[in-house]
Every structure is written in C-alpha cells, then in structure tokens.
Amino acid sequence: MAEENELRYDPAAIEPKWQQRWAADPTLYAAEPVSCGKPKYYVLEMLPYPSGQLHMGHVRNYSIGDALARHMWMRGYNVLHPMGWDAFGLPAENAALKNNTPPREWTLSNIAGMKRQFERLGMGFDWATEVTTCLPEYYRWNQWFFLRMYERGLAYRKKSKVNWCPECATVLANEQVVDGCCWRHEATKVDQRDLVQWFFRITAYAQELLDGLDQLDGWPEKVRTMQRNWIGRSEGTNVDFFLEEINEGTGIREQGSDAGPSTPLRSAQDDNRVRIRVFTTRVDTIFGATSVQLAPQHALVATFTAADPALKTQVDELLEQQKRAREAGDLGAIEKHGIQTGRFAVNPYNGRRVPIWVANYILADYGTGAIMSVPAHDERDFEFATKYNLPIVQVIKPAQQGADEKLPFCSEEGLLINSGEYDGLSCAEAEKRLQEIAVARGFGEAKVTFRLKDWGVSRQRYWGTPIPMIHCEKDGLVQVPDSQLPVLLPDQIEITQQGGSPLSRVPEFVNVTCPKCGGPAKRETDTMDTFVDSSWYFYRYPDAKNANAPFDSKIAKYWFPIDQYIGGVEHAILHLIYSRFWTKVMRDLGLIENDEPARRLFTQGMVLKDGSKMSKSKGNIVSPDEMVGRYGADAARTYSLFAAPPDRDLDWQEDGVAGVSRFLARVWRLATKYAPVAREGRGRPVEAPSGISLKLLRKLHQTTAKITQDFEGRWHFNTCVAAIMELVNEIQAADAQLAAGEVPAPEMLELLRTLVLLLAPFAPHLAAELWEELGEESSILRAPWPTSDPELAKEDELEVPVQINGKLVEVVRVAADADAKTIEAAALAGEKIQARTAGKNVVKVIVVPGKLVNLVVK
C-alpha cells in the first residue's frame, strides 16, 4: 500500500513545493540588467483586467507566453516576461455601487486574488516589474503624456456628437457600441449627445500608421488588414459644384444648361456663388454625374428647408431613418431613401445642371457630407438612380475591345467617352488632368481622406486618470504644472453612475488655485479612456520603479521593440492602433527610437465550451481553479496548448485534461523508475549507441528537432506535445529492454534528461521535480535547451504505404534515401501486394518518394 502511494503522481504536492521555491528566489524570473551582454528577448502577453477571476482564455494566453519565455531562457536569452493590471475602468464602479466597496479596494483585492491564481498556475513572471495602472505612480505619467500632447496640439477639445449609454451615464467610443447598444449593456440603446470632449489627434499620424503596417511582417495579415480598413485611406478629389441661383422675382432659373457639355465655367464669375464641395475618388467620371446628394445634416439643406416646411418634414424623416440605422449599428446596410429638393447644382467642368437630392445614406462626417452621383460607374449610385428613375450616363468604356460593358461599369481599366475634350483619356490620365484643371480654375483640389477619426478620450467616470487641466475664467484652459503631478483621484467618493462625472461632485477636487493667475479656478472633471493606460504600459515594465520619468530611454532602447506580443484578436484595432500611435508620439518626443511597439504579434484563438463562448449567462464557465485543483496546473496548461493549434479556437473538454494528466503521470513513473540508472551515467559520454538505445535516441533527437523548429516558427504546440507523447510511448514500449538493462546508463541519462528539458516549457513543475530526481542541482530554467544531432535523427529506414487503386494494402520498409525505382521494386515485392496483383495487369505505378506508392491495377 505504501509503495502504491509512493508511485502516484501527485501534482498537489509537487506543484506547491516548486512554487514556494520559485517565489523564494526573486532572481529566477527577473530580467537581467542591460549591461549583462546577453541578447534580449521581450515576450509580452496582454495584461488582464482585474475582474477578480482568471478565466480559461487567460490560462491559454499566458500558457503560450510562459512556454515561449521558458524556452528563450533555456536558449540563453536575457528574457523580460512581465505582468501587470489594466486596473482602471467601469466594472470597479459597478462593483462599488453593488457591494458598497470603494473601487480602489475592490480592484486591489482582485489583483491580490488573481496574482495568487497566477502563482498557483506556476507562471514565470517577473513580479518586480509589476505595473498597476490605477496607482498614482503609473497614472501620473498618463497625465504627463497628456500635457506633452497638449503642448504639441495633439490633445485638444471640441464639441462633438458622442455615443451616450444611459446605463453607464457616460460616453462610449464608436467601437464600444455594438449593434446600437452599449458593449457592456447588451440591451441598452445608445443615444447621441453633444458634448465638449477631449481628443487625441491620432489622425496626424494616419498616413504613418498606414505605411508602418507594410513593415510589420511579423503581425498576422488579418490584423494588418483590419487596421488598414480602420484607417481607411482614399485618394480622390474635392470638387465644388455651384448652387444654381433662383431668381426671386420670376422663379426662373438662371445659368446652367440642360443640354450636353458646354464650356466650363470660369472662376472669375463663380467667385460669389454658393459652392457645394463634394469628395470623389473618381473625378474621371464627373461628366456622368446626374445628381448631387447631400447628407441630411448638410448646412445647405437647412437653408433649403427654412423656406420650405414640406421639405423640412421629409428631411426630418431621413434624419430619423439615419439615426435609427446608427442606433441599430447597421448604417452601412441602411435602406436608401432620398428626396429631391427642387434645387440644382452646376457641374463646374461642363456647366451642366443636375438636381440636388438629400439622402439618408450620405454621412455628414465622411468626406464633405456631399457626393456627386454617377450611376453608370458606381454600384450604390446605380441602385439609387434605378430606384428613383434618375438618368444614367455612361462616360467610361472598357479599355479592352469586346469586354463586358454592363452598367454599372466600375473598373478603372477604361477610357473616357461622352466627356468632351477628355474623350479617349484613360481613367488614370483623366483623374490627373481634371484635378489640375480644378486647381487652376479654383474649384477643387486633390484630396486624401481617412476613415480614421481622432481618438475621443474624455470619460465622465470616476475610476480613471484625471485629465490634468484647469479651467480659469481669466486664463481659459491652463495646464497643471508638471511639479503638481500627479493630480490624485480623491479617495472617498460617492458613486451613483448618474448625472455626469462623479468628480464634479467633489468640491475639494474641483476647486483649485489657478497656476497662472493665482485666482480661483476649477479642475477638469473628465477622466481618460482606459485605452490610454494600455497604450504604453509595456514601456513602463523594464523601468517600473522610475519616479522621475515614465521610463529611462536607455533601458527602452535595449528592450524595444517587443520581440513577441501575444493577445486576443479582439484587440486588433483599438488597443493595437492606439499603442502604435503612442509609440510614434513618444518617438517624436525623443523618448524612444523604435517606430513600432512590437516586432511580432500573435493572436491566439478563443476558449469555447461546447462550441460557444464561455459566459456567466450561458452557465458554461470552466474555472481555472477547479481544473488546477482536480488535475494540477501542469495538466491544465499543457492541455490548453495540446488541444488545438494556438491560433485556433479551443473547445474545452475535461476528458482531455484528464488524459493529459494521465500522460504526465506516465512520464513521472517512467522517469522515477529509471532515474537511479540514469544518475549512474552522469559524467560518462554516450558512445556509438546501437540497438534499442539507438532507436530511442533517434526518436529523441527527432522530437528535439521538431519542437525546436516549432518554437522558432509555426508554434504548433499541440503537435509538440503530441510528439513528446509519442516519444514517451516509444520509451514505454521498450520497458522490458530498459528493465533488462539493455540501455546503458549514459544513454538512459540523455534520454530522460532531454525528455524533461523538452517538457519544461509546457509542464514546468513536473520538469523541475524530475530534473532534481535526475540529480541536477541548478535550475532547469538555466539549463541549455537540447540540440538535435541531425546524423542521429536521420532515419535509416522509412515506412511507405502502398495502395492499390487508391486503397491502402500494405506498408513496406525501404532505406531512407532510396530512389523511386528502388521504392517501386520494394512495393511490388510486398507480400500482400503480390497476392492481390497475381494474374492481374499493373497498368501504372505512381511513386511519391518518402510518402506513398499507388498501383493502378486492372
């Protein structure tokens, strides 16, 4: 009985033992100083929000990063593997309201709990560099950066329409509006309100943010595509159409012509006329414009409706449709409606008059809020013109003879027709010429527009970084001097989540002496978007205790860019664009030299349960504590890497965790059983292995090569774990020979030692335990990663499946370097193959060297 117990793998005993030892050695996971002379490796996982509980998505994310960090340590790098807390944000306020616990207390106690979970999982983080964004030692630097941006015109205030969640009583970013509802309150419709807000001028970097994506070849293509679309650059032309005047006395229209192309209007006589500026990416098609369409909010529409109550009613209806579509989050799919205003615009190139429409699908905040409609060459315009029976004038024909000319013809591979003197030009030539003419005659210019908007950072919340600005009646906006940073969040505050910013209800916070005139003044009461905190936290890690600056530039120069960043693809646009922007701002401030924060990015898949996302409402949450309690941290971590390739979604199966746990138990039994033999091999070289030793060492070196390659490239950790399982199976299958002493001690030592090293990034506790069992005294984390001997790894024989008419019949063995002829001969000589082909006609033999042989038999 006692012996039975001794032979049981017991993670509940092994794991805490090692966690205690690791915790007692602060240098173990610590990054070494810049002067250490080793190559550096910065592996970073996205920092969690301290909700109070790690979830399985975290376990997966951090198991990937931790495996990589451990591998790089063993490869001899100076590794930085830090962890911190994205600790500001609304849930702390919600919890405060619900439990009557101050946000700070709630947050810090959650952090303590999650830190214990991390330790119980055995994650190798350098806690000396921990960053907690809600602490003044961190957020003072948010304020410092804000002031630097303000000084450079990169932080500014403007009145703007904002998304307002009545439930949160705060402003939401566009991206926080999901299907017209709040991202936190799935059933709460978002309102539109006008507020004066603080913005960061991210658009100043739009072009650079776009261009930089081309260099980021270590980022997933899907992330780069999402960012390109988000930035949304389009090249085009701003063109002024002219509003046709109404002769008040007679109602007779003057100017303009309904007839075909005539002379373009001259700028001199156009100077006093009302202009309608449109943005188009296809000025080459402008002779095909058959209407001008305005957004319902366009300034000109108000002047039309002022004189026409019936028109106003119709425009109001369009506004209402647009608002509903915006709230429903499907503005792109709005059913297109428009109304004719009865007014006309004049095309500046040919003097032709076209009707002015107001349409619900034209957006006031894109381009100029006005478009020219060219139904012959634009899908959307074609659809609209067909619906309202507007004329369709073809002005481009395909460049290629006989090509499909069906309208709308939207390709730019074409030649101009029906365009007066420009007929025969290619689209590209015409674009250039027409732009030049617009500039020369003063009715337009080349224009690049971006979909990217400036980043609204104001939040009417308590639990965020106070914006370090002061409003003085005499001096206007005044910066808080650097010497008065941080502007501290008041500790005691009543959270109601109603009526705007909670800080505005704290007189001791609001009332302040103006730093400029010494008179009474008021503090800004908005706090910053929490995406500010996460935009630069990783620069703080290597110099987390710096009290004089956000970080030391020399230290940042050594560690940046990050070598590998790992996180969820849901952060592809917001966090990852904001942190790229922040990096460029810091570079322009002279703080860093790198242009981009991270050289490589990896986005892991989600963890699902029974095919769907784990959530409280579905009641399908699997808790990490439960898994660790039942199977151990090593089994939970290894399973999360084994169950699917890391970039794919993983469906959590408890059976699978149990299976991995049984596998680890087998490794433990195997290593424990043969460790005494292996220890005798210490200091003795392996010499010309043969027989079963050679077979096992070959498998060992093949496995080493595979796993090493995977860490360098594909990261298919699932197949790495599978390869270790195969190796263990093969060793176990030879148990009788091992027990009989057929494998000499030095070979046994190499076998077990390397097996344990290969396992170390995935199951660090078990590896540490067995490492000690093998007589090793120093930490396995500092042991060199094993190398594979290609000679030893080389197979001398290969198994080749042989098929008859596509069906597997037999597997034959051939020399690993056999040529096609030899393989064919071996296949035809196979016992079963001979039996099946006897008396038949082998029509064809297809040999795929190293893979298979197929015989076509009749």
Residues of the shown chain interacting with Zn ion in the complex, contacts defined by CB under 5 A: 165, 167-168, 182, 184-185, 472, 474-475, 514, 516-517
Nearer Cβ to Zn ion, position 173 or 331? 173
CA distance 471 to 512: 9
The residue (of 185 and 453) whose beta carbon lies closer to Zn ion is: 185
**From the CB of 182, what's the least distance to Zn ion, in Å?**
3
Q: Which is nearer to Zn ion, 396 or 472 (CB)?
A: 472
> What angle is formed at CA 835 by the lines to CA 832 and CA 840, rounded to 5 degrees?
125
**Nearer to Zn ion (CB atom), residue 514 or residue 783:** 514
CB of 187 to Zn ion, least distance (A): 10
State how far the Cα of 569 lies from the Cα of 292, in Å rounded to an integer. 40
Is the Cβ of residue 475 or residue 772 nearer to Zn ion in the bound state? 475
Question: Pseudo-torsion of CA 644, 650, 656, 662, nearest 10°?
Answer: 50
**Min dist. Cβ of residue 89 to Zn ion (A):** 12
**CB-nearer residue toward Zn ion: 188 or 411:** 188
Which is closer to Zn ion, CB of 182 or CB of 301? Answer: 182
What letter represents residue 84's amino acid?
Answer: G
Whole-number minimum distance, CB 60 to Zn ion, in Å?
28
Smallest separation, CB 470 to Zn ion (Å): 8
Please choose, from the candidates 301, 359, 356, 363, the residue with its C-alpha nearest in 3D space to the C-alpha of residue 332. 363
The strand pair at 353-359 and 338-346 is best described as antiparallel
Nearest-angstrom CA–CA distance, 516 and 664:
68
Q: Least CB distance from residue 70 to Zn ion, whole Å? A: 40
Alpha-carbon gap, residue 455 to 529, rounded angstroms:
9
For Cα atoms 409, 412, 417, give the angle at the middle one, nearest 5 degrees: 70
CB of 168 to Zn ion, least distance (A): 4
| Helix residue spans in 684-716 (DSSP H) | 691-712
How far is 319 from 360, CA to CA, in rounded Å? 7
**Please, what is the minimum distance in Å from the beta carbon of residue 263 to Zn ion?**
58
> CB 514 → Zn ion: shortest distance, Å?
3
Dist. CA 495–CA 473, nearest whole Å: 29
CA 73, CA 53: separation in Å to the nearest integer? 29
Which is closer to Zn ion, CB of 172 or CB of 833?
172
Residues 359, 318: Cα–Cα separation, whole Å: 7
One-letter identity of residue 676: P
E strands present in 360-430:
370-373, 396-398, 414-416
| Least separation in angstroms between CB 181 and Zn ion | 8
Q: What is the dihedral of CA 720, 723, 724, 727, to 10 degrees?
A: -160
Integer Cα distance of 702 and 719 in angstroms = 13
Is the Cβ of residue 387 or residue 474 nearer to Zn ion in the bound state?
474
Give the Cα separation of 797 and 816 in Å (integer). 5
Please report the DSSP string for 462-523 in residue order: SSSPBP-EEEETTTEEEEPPGGG---PPPSS----S-SS-GGGG-HHHHEEE-TTT-SEEEE
Q: Give me the least distance between CB of 469 and Zn ion, in Å please.
A: 12
**Least CB distance to Zn ion at residue 457 (A):** 18
Taking the least distance from each CB to Zn ion, the nearer of 164 and 219 is 164
Minimum Å gap between C-beta 228 and Zn ion is 30
Residue with Cβ nearer Zn ion (472 or 641): 472
Nearer to Zn ion, 189 or 505 (CB): 189
Nearer to Zn ion, 185 or 312 (CB): 185
Alpha-carbon gap, residue 752 to 771, rounded angstroms: 9
Report helix, strand or coil for 309.
helix
Strand boundaries in 75-169, DSSP class E: 78-80, 84-85, 131-132, 155-165
Q: Is the Cβ–Cβ distance between 346 and 242 less than 8 Å?
A: yes
